[in-house]
């Protein structure tokens, strides 16, 4: 579910079990040098072991695949020719392809003799990271290998991130498709179908729980980038201190806690879709930084001197009303124009009660299956009551109400009394609170007031309200639903 999406990904990957003290000043990378000449191997080892935590050498290329499979090196320094007298470099190319097939994140630096440069270019097309010429200059070799180990780090993070977000995309697809029959929702579906393949930037507007994230995921999964990452960034909870480092990444040592290079969420999304959620909550002074990155299509990681390109399809969402967004004291208008090429506004559920029967059917089927009960039916009175309810928490609240009713109801038929609709916004009195004792109802009303106040104070920004109450988003949603807020 949306609330469970990770906002940040793991950092501080530990490449090595225990840190040997002497290793602290070394670059944390396992390097393998492959060459048929013993002298070269010895020279390389002597030089590199003073700079990297682990350096191994290999003379016999026949053992390379096995070694890579078992040890997964961070950087390979690979000679191009092995057989005596061989100069064509075909051996090196074949080994390179073998390594890249075993580990697509492998970082291979080639050693070439002078004159092999066109061959090196061919090798780089096949995935080699860089090349050095023989005989090498120590400084240049070191600089190349350090850059290569940084590249390895970024590739690993990006790949971990991609596989994680692919997993999430799968999970939400199972979580459900989007349904609706109201004219307003049919228009939304049509816009999704048209906008998705275009690659245009999309801004999704709507109250909490109206399905903004679902729209973003639909657009991604119908776009040309469907096989790439869908990266959601919750800007509502990103602290101003972490804003740049989380979004743009940082270099090792850029600040005290920066123990490793970090790729940043914008670059992690590169190739795929970047979903900037709660964009209306970015403070004005940070909106400028975001705009610059989006305009230039590049980010400069904190502590880096060169910008890095990003290639993302941008989808943004906010629960701010369109009028608030149009107020330049709240939102930079140049940023607005950058993100709202296509604007999709999701109407609140109370304005489209004709969608309620289909949503009910949809969620009853989902939860009956999930909880392994025979599909429940809905009484006519229950349907009327649910359609007359104002649903301030929109589709999410409806969904939770159905889940609870499916779990708690005893018979085959769901009655209105199986749904605890809460006081506010309900068409009828809440059976649940009527049944509760005076003590618990007093507690309930304290809780309700606290939540209502927090929501008000944070402009119904769920992330912030939840944070101020010390709750997770999910549990705040549950309580909002309980109190009909």
Q: Which residues of the shown chain bind ligand ATP in the complex (CB under 6 A)?
A: 1-2, 175-176, 178-180, 206, 208-214, 319, 362, 395-396, 399, 462
**Binding segment (CB under 5 A) for Mg ion, from list 142-150, 211-219, 344-352, 377-385:** 211-219
Under the criterion CB under 5 A, does residue 2 sit at the interface with Mg ion? Answer: yes
CA 320/CA 323 separation, integer angstroms: 8
Pull the structure tokens for residue 169: 């995309």
Q: Smallest distance from the beta carbon of 116 to ligand ATP, in angstroms? A: 54
By CB under 5 A, residue 402 contacts Mg ion: no
Query: Which one, 2 or 195, has the nearer CB to Mg ion?
Result: 2
Q: Which residue has the tokens 């690979």?
A: 78
- The reply to whether 355 sits near Mg ion by the rule CB under 5 A is no
Q: Tokens at residue 431, please? A: 């059976």
Residue 352 binding: pick among ligand ATP, Mg ion, none (C-beta 5-8 Å cut-off by kind): none
Q: Cβ 238 to ligand ATP, closest distance in Å?
A: 15
Report the relative pairing of strands 313-318 and 377-378 from DSSP bridges: unpaired
Cβ at position 212, least distance to Mg ion in Å: 5
Radius of gyration of the chain (CA): 28
Cβ proximity to Mg ion, 2 vs 111, nearer residue = 2
For Mg ion, give the closer residue by CB, 2 or 359.
2
The SS3 assignment for 188 reads helix
Q: What does 176 interact with, of ligand ATP, Mg ion, none (CB < 5 to 8 A by kind)?
A: ligand ATP
Q: Are strands 298-299 and 308-309 parallel, antiparallel or unpaired?
A: antiparallel
- C-beta of 137 vs 407, nearer to ligand ATP: 407
DSSP secondary structure code for residue 375 in this structure: P
- Which residue's CB is nearer to ligand ATP, number 92 or number 180? 180
Nearer to Mg ion, 223 or 318 (CB): 318
Kindly tell me which of 108 and 349 has the beta carbon lying closer to ligand ATP: 349
Reading the block at residue 185, the tokens are 């929702």
420 touches, from Mg ion, ligand ATP, none (C-beta below 5 to 8 Å by class): none
Could you list the beta-strand ranges (E) of 37-124. 52-58, 75-79, 107-113
By CB under 5 A, which span of 44-52, 87-95, 208-216, 287-295 interacts with Mg ion?
Answer: 208-216
CB 398 within 8 A of CB 359: yes
Shortest Å, Cβ 134 to ligand ATP: 57
Position closest to Mg ion via CB: 213
**Within 13 Å and on the Cβ side, how many CA atoms surround 25?**
4
479 backbone dihedrals φ, ψ, rounded to 5°: -70, -35
Distance of CA 92 to the CA centre of its chain: 37
**β partners of residue 335:** none
Structure tokens at 227: 């096989």
Shortest CB 281 distance to Mg ion, Å: 12
User: Measured at CB, which residue is nearest to ligand ATP?
Assistant: 211
| Minimum CB–partner distance for residue 478 and ligand ATP (Å) | 13
Residue 5 CB, shortest distance to ligand ATP, in Å, is 9
Number of residues lying near Mg ion (CB under 5 A) = 2
Element (H, E) at 285: helix 284-296
By the 10 Å C-beta count (0-12 exposed, 13-18 middle, 19+ buried), 240 is classed as exposed
Q: Does 213 bind Mg ion (CB under 5 A)?
A: yes
Structure tokens at 178: 């989007």
Question: Rounded to an integer, what distance in angstroms lies between the CA atom of residue 230 and that of residue 269?
Answer: 7
Which stretch, 175-183, 212-220, 293-301, 307-315, contacts Mg ion (CB under 5 A)?
212-220
> Residue 171 CB, nearest distance to ligand ATP (Å)?
11
Shortest distance in whole angstroms from residue 265 CB to ligand ATP: 18
Ramachandran region, residue 182 (left: φ > 0; alpha: ψ -120 to 50; beta: rest): beta
Query: Can you tell me the distance from the alpha carbon of 84 to that of 264, in angstroms, rounded to the nearest whole number?
Result: 46
Between 111 and 465, name the residue whose CB sits nearer to Mg ion: 465
The smaller minimum CB distance to Mg ion, of residues 2 and 96, is found at 2
| 79: its two tokens | 């000679």
Which residues of this chain interact with Mg ion, rule CB under 5 A? 2, 213
């Amino acid at each position: 579910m949306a609330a469970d999406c990770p906002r940040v990904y793991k950092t501080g990957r530990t490449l090595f079990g225990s840190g040997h003290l002497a290793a602290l000043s070394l670059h944390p990378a396992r390097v393998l040098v492959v060459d048929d000449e013993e002298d070269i191997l010895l020279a390389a080892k002597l030089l590199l072991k003073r700079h990297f935590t682990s350096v191994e050498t290999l003379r016999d290329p026949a053992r390379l695949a096995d070694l890579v499979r078992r040890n997964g090196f961070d950087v390979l320094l690979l000679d191009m020719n092995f057989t005596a007298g061989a100069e064509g470099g075909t051996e090196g190319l074949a080994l390179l392809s073998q390594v890249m097939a075993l580990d697509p994140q492998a970082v291979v630096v080639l050693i070439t003799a002078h004159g092999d440069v066109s061959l090196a270019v061919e090798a780089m097309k096949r995935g080699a990271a860089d090349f050095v010429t023989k005989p090498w200059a120590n400084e240049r070799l070191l600089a190349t290998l350090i850059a290569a180990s940084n590249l390895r780090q970024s590739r690993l993070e990006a790949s971990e991130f991609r596989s994680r977000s692919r997993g999430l995309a799968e999970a939400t697809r199972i979580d459900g498709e989007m349904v609706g029959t109201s004219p307003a929702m049919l228009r939304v579906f049509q816009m999704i179908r048209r906008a998705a393949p275009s690659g245009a930037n999309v801004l999704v507007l709507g109250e909490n729980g109206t399905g903004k994230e679902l729209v973003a995921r639909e657009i991604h999964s119908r776009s040309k980038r469907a096989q790439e990452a869908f990266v959601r960034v919750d800007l509502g909870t990103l602290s101003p201190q972490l804003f740049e480092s989380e979004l743009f990444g940082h270099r090792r040592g850029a600040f005290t806690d920066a123990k490793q290079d970090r790729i940043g969420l914008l670059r992690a999304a590169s190739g795929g879709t970047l979903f900037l959620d709660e964009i209306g909550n970015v403070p004005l002074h940070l909106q400028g930084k975001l705009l610059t990155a989006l305009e230039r299509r590049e980010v400069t990681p904190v502590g880096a001197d060169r910008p890095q390109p990003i290639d993302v399809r941008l989808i943004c969402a906010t629960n701010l009303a369109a009028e608030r967004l149009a107020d330049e004291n709240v939102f930079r208008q140049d940023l607005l124009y950058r993100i709202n090429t296509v604007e999709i506004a999701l109407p609140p559920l109370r304005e489209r009660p004709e969608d309620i029967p289909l949503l009910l059917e949809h969620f009853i089927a989902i939860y009956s299956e999930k909880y392994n009960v025979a599909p429940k039916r809905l009484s006519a009175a229950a349907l009327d009551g649910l359609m007359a309810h104002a649903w301030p928490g929109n589709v999410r609240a409806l969904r939770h109400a159905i889940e609870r009713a499916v779990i708690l109801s005893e018979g085959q038929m769901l009655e209105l009394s199986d749904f605890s609709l809460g006081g506010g916004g309900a068409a009828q009195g809440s059976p649940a609170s009527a049944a509760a004792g005076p003590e618990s109802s007093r507690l309930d009303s304290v809780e309700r007031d606290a939540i209502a106040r927090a929501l008000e104070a944070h402009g119904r920004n769920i992330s912030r309200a939840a944070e101020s109450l010390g709750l997770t988003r999910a549990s705040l949603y549950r309580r909002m639903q309980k109190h009909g807020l």
